[in-house]
Amino acid sequence: MKKEPYITRLDIELTERCNNNCIHCYINLPDDDLCAKKKELSTDKIKEILKEAVSLDCMTIRFTGGEPLLREDFEELYVFTRKQGLKVLIFTNATLINKRLAELFSRIPPLEKIEVTVYGINKNSYEAVTGKKGSFKAAEKGIKLLLKNKIPFVVKSAVLPPNKNETDKFEKWAMAIPDMDRLPSKSMFFDLRCRRDNEIKNRFIKKLRITPEEGIGILTREKDKYIKEMKEFCSKFTRPPGDDLFSCGAGFSGCADAYGYFLPCIMLKCPDTAYDLKNGTLEDAIVNFFPKIRAMRAKNKDYLKRCAKCFLKSLCEQCPAKSWMEHGTLDTPVEYFCEIAHAQAKFLGLVKPHEKAWEVTDWKERLRNFSRNVIPAEAGIQT
Amino acid sequence: MKTRISLKNVYKPSEDVVARDIHGEFIIIPITSGIGDSDEAIFSLNEFGKAIWGELDGKKNLKEIANLLTLKFEGSDKEIETDIIGLGEELLKKKIIVKL
């Protein structure tokens, strides 16, 4: 009898440091933050985690950060990971990809497309986001090296004031990249600092957030495709969650953070839900610790009155991680995400203007009608 | 063009691949580029393939491996040899095994 696979993919945040200083970033620390660097996991400890991941039938390691290529031992860790028979998914800004690294990726392919975030189509917009002089040229060079060495990669972006008018140009450029098989993904509903470490930056991130209506405008640029996807999604997943805090996949695998804590989700940095890998194992976390986290119930009165009864929960980004970032608790409703979910639902005809989804009693019928293409006339949208 | 393989020869797994048993599925994962097809990176072997793989110790030739497998799998000696040659050619062509 074979053992159950515990992990299909493991995220490893190699560092929280980054050589860019993006205006919207929820995690970045300066690349020369020696205090953060000193606390980071050693090469040997990361190798130990990787070996355990293999024993748990893991197939893919996602190296992310911060900027994972900042780690001086990145090459060593990458080669070690691949030699364990693991695929590697790398999230990077590409600015540190040099000839040597590109040739390494060519000789020992990651077996997953590298994901490069591109912050602007020209120097002005790119560096207005990254805050680093020379970063556009460095990214351009990295991307050219990937292309030259035929390394499979995709690009993605973030919708921000300096680049929000470049979407068409960016997409045209992106779709010329050989491995782009769909339009680049764009992050746009930005998270606050996941370590709750910078109130000034949080205030700035809030200012950068687009309005729910602007977001819907972007999401529905390919309107027919969007509506088709939402019909499929809503018919499968849309229902009130009750007081379950974790209705997602958190804790079935997780993320080893830069300092050796295993988190049920890469976004959830709450110390109470983190498992110390320096004194334990991935297996112990998955078998014994995370189930307790997943069993947690919401207690916040506002959450129980609203989110627990809201049939839009699966459309909403509200989750313990977002609640932690915004409020320092796991179960406080996040107004911004609530507004976005309602804006989407209004667009789709699932709720009426001024209606709150948690007050809707005939939600099952509305979902049935939506999946059958019957949209309430008063919803004010056409499909 | 078929890659020639002989029952008299000794083969071993390439050092550029890793074999893993993932939840009952035996798979071969290439480490370096140039292994196998460009569009399909990971190879899966059935029970028969897995049994062959387990015997590719760099000492036994394919004939000796075939003799061992006739004790474990149904089929005539000739059928087992034909199957080993078929799979061996495929693996050699993909550079998953190498001739010693």
- Among the partner-chain residues A2, A85, A111, the one whose CB lies closest to the CB of B24 is A2
Is B33 domain-assigned?
yes
Question: Is the pLDDT assigned to residue A92 strictly greater than 60?
Answer: yes
Question: Is the pLDDT assigned to residue A377 strictly greater than 60?
Answer: no
- d(CA B2, nearest CA chain A) in Å: 26
Query: Residue A75 — pLDDT band, cuts 50, 70, 90?
Result: very high
Phi/psi at A177 (5° precision): -75, 130
E strand or H helix at A227:
helix A223-237
Report pLDDT for A380.
45
Is B5 domain-assigned?
no
- Among the partner-chain residues B20, B31, B42, the one whose CB lies closest to the CB of A82 is B31
Domains of chain A in sequence order: 9-211 (3.20.20.70), 212-245+298-383 (no CATH)
What's the total number of domains in chain B? 1
The mean predicted confidence, pLDDT, of chain A is: 93
Strand A60-64 vs strand A9-13: parallel, antiparallel, or unpaired? Answer: parallel
State the average pLDDT over residues B86-97.
Answer: 92
Question: pLDDT exceeding 90 applies to what percent of chain A?
Answer: 84
Question: Is the pLDDT assigned to residue A198 strictly greater than 60?
Answer: yes
Question: pLDDT exceeding 70 applies to what percent of chain A?
Answer: 96
- Among the partner-chain residues A3, A57, A85, the one whose CB lies closest to the CB of B18 is A85
- Which residues have a Cβ under 8 Å from the Cβ of A342 and sit 6 or more positions away? A212, A312, A351, A356, A357
Q: Lowest-pLDDT range, A33-42, A110-119, A305-314, A320-329?
A: A305-314
Is B3 domain-assigned?
no
Report pLDDT for B1.
54
Is B23 domain-assigned?
yes
**B21 vs A contacts (CB less than 8 Å):** 2
**B42 vs A contacts (CB less than 8 Å):** 111
Q: Which residue of B has its CA nearest to A78?
A: B31
If we measure between CA atoms, which residue out of A225, A188, A194, A232 comes closest to residue A210?
A188
Residue B20's DSSP bridge partners are B27
Domain of residue B19, CATH code:
1.10.10.1150
- d(CA B98, nearest CA chain A) in Å: 18
ipTM over 0.95: no
Residue A4 touches partner B, C-beta closer than 8 Å: yes
Q: Lowest-pLDDT range, A55-59, A105-109, A220-224?
A: A220-224
For residue B61, what are the domain limits? Answer: 11-95
Residue A1 touches partner B, C-beta closer than 8 Å: no
User: What's the CA gap between A62 and A10, in Å, rounded?
Assistant: 6
Report pLDDT for A239.
80
State the average pLDDT over residues A152-160.
Answer: 96
pLDDT tens digits, one per residue of A295-321: 999 999 999 999 999 999 888 999 999
- Among the partner-chain residues B23, B29, B42, the one whose CB lies closest to the CB of A57 is B23
Report pLDDT for A383.
36
- Is the Cβ pair A57, B33 closer than 8 Å? no
Find the chain B residues whose C-beta atoms sit closer than 8 A to any C-beta of A: 18-24, 29-33, 41-42
